[in-house]
């Protein structure tokens, strides 16, 4: 089959690789009808996530049709259309039973690696390094799905791929980011980053009752899309976010701040240059420019939500501000399984059409170009969907 494979920093190729096979009774094989490039994939593309190996198959946002199941999978049958959570979860460990699906104890065969980095291992992830299990991803024609009796959700008739594809990751990620803010009526929420996750965080914050959402970015088309979703917008290259947010909230600051950027944050001024240089020479693994701003801007007693991916260690975190302002921070890989059905219901009711973020649709063969377009924000790109079989289901 054809698959998008990582071969090094800024080097992804469409290779011919062996078809996946059933390895475990709880496996299923899915024929991919739609897959997408995620902002998190760019951390792999840019070479900042460790334990990648040449030839690894990328992709964790995908859906498709069941073509084969193991004997332990009774909930799916050949021909079912399914979306697949990017987190791989067993469904029976302590954490899965607590609805903490991305912390599954049994799905990362390389847990010992993650334990060395983080103390404990999160769940396995599709297409996201050997640190997270070394699983082949879904930017391919076919994929093996472990624990298929737990993860995949059948797609109801009448919904297109593009309406449900992002249930696999970015819609639940944005929604969980907003939910972690414990939004109360009348709240003001500031969202750093108007990429796909930020866009879903904005709309989710409104769905959960926020009165105002203030979106911060520098890319005009992203700011325009955020504004179309009801947000007030700030261009951080034109205004200092901290000062602007203080002025817009009567000096109090936002009730909650969401960092939907993560480890490759851009910024202005000496601190942004400091982060860029230290990350380039691997003296700092992540650039926490946005996290610093969110902590500084948030009102006293407020909440900082971090859906943005961080991979290692960061410098100059204003812990004095965090502690003395009495802030609460919540983060984590998304517990996608928890949100699949509730968010699918919102789509079915017409409360949201997740396809609003899609700007580019390309065949799988054009994945290398798609990665470059997405990373460099060329051609007004916000989100790219790849079609392995050039279908438009």
pLDDT digits (tens, 9 = 90+) for 267-317: 999 999 999 999 999 889 999 999 999 999 999 999 999 999 999 999 999
**Predicted local confidence at residue 282, as pLDDT:** 87
Tokens (6 digits) for 368 = 């290398």
Q: By the 8 A CB rule, do 140 and 3 touch? A: yes
The residue-averaged pLDDT of 72-81 equals: 97
Tokens (6 digits) for 38 = 């995620």
The pLDDT tens digits for 230-274 are 999 999 999 999 999 999 999 999 999 999 999 999 999 999 999
d(C-alpha 63, C-alpha 164), whole Å: 9
Taking the alpha carbons at both ends of the chain, their separation in whole angstroms is 20
Q: In 3-state terms, what secondary structure has residue 329?
A: strand
| Cα dihedral 213, 218, 220, 222 sign | negative
72 burial (CB, 10 Å; 0-12 / 13-18 / 19+) is: middle
The residues with which 82 forms a beta bridge, in sequence order, are 64, 154
**Predicted local confidence at residue 383, as pLDDT:** 98
């Amino acid at each position: 089959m054809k698959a998008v494979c990582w071969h090094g920093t800024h080097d992804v190729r469409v290779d011919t690789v062996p078809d996946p096979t059933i390895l475990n009774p709880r496996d299923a094989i899915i024929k991919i009808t739609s897959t997408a490039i995620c902002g998190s994939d760019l951390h792999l593309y840019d070479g900042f996530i460790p334990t990648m190996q040449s030839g690894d198959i990328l992709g964790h946002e995908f859906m498709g049709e069941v073509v084969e199941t193991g004997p332990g999978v009774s909930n799916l049958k050949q021909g079912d259309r399914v979306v697949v959570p990017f987190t791989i979860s067993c469904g029976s460990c302590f954490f899965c039973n607590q609805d903490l699906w991305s912390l599954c104890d049994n799905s990362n065969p390389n847990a010992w690696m993650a334990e060395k980095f983080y103390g404990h291992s999160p769940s396995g992830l599709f297409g996201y390094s050997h640190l997270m299990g070394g699983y082949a991803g879904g930017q391919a024609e076919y994929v093996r799905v472990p624990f298929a009796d737990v993860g995949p959700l059948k797609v109801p008739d009448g919904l297109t791929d593009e309406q449900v594809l992002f249930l696999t990751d970015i819609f639940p990620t944005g929604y969980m980011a907003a939910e972690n803010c414990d939004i109360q009526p009348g709240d003001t929420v500031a969202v750093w980053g108007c990429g796909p996750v930020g866009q879903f965080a904005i709309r989710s914050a409104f769905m959960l009752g926020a009165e105002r959402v203030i979106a911060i970015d520098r890319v005009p088309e992203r700011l325009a899309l955020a504004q179309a979703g009801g947000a007030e917008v700030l261009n951080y290259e034109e205004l200092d976010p901290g000062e602007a947010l203080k002025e817009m909230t009567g000096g109090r600051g936002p009730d909650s701040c969401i960092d939907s950027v993560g480890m490759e944050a851009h910024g202005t001024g000496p601190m942004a240059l400091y982060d860029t240089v230290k990350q380039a020479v691997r003296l700092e693994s992540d650039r926490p420019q946005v996290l610093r701003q969110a902590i500084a801007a948030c009102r006293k007693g407020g909440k900082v939500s971090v859906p943005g991916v961080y991979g290692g260690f960061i410098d100059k975190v204003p812990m004095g501000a965090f502690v003395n302002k009495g802030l609460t921070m919540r983060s984590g890989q998304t517990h996608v399984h928890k949100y699949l059905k509730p968010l699918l219901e919102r789509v079915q009711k017409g409360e949201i059409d997740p396809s609003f973020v899609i700007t580019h649709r390309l065949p799988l063969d054009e994945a290398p170009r798609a990665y470059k377009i997405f990373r460099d924000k060329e051609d007004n790109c916000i989100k790219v969907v790849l079609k392995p079989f050039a279908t438009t289901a």
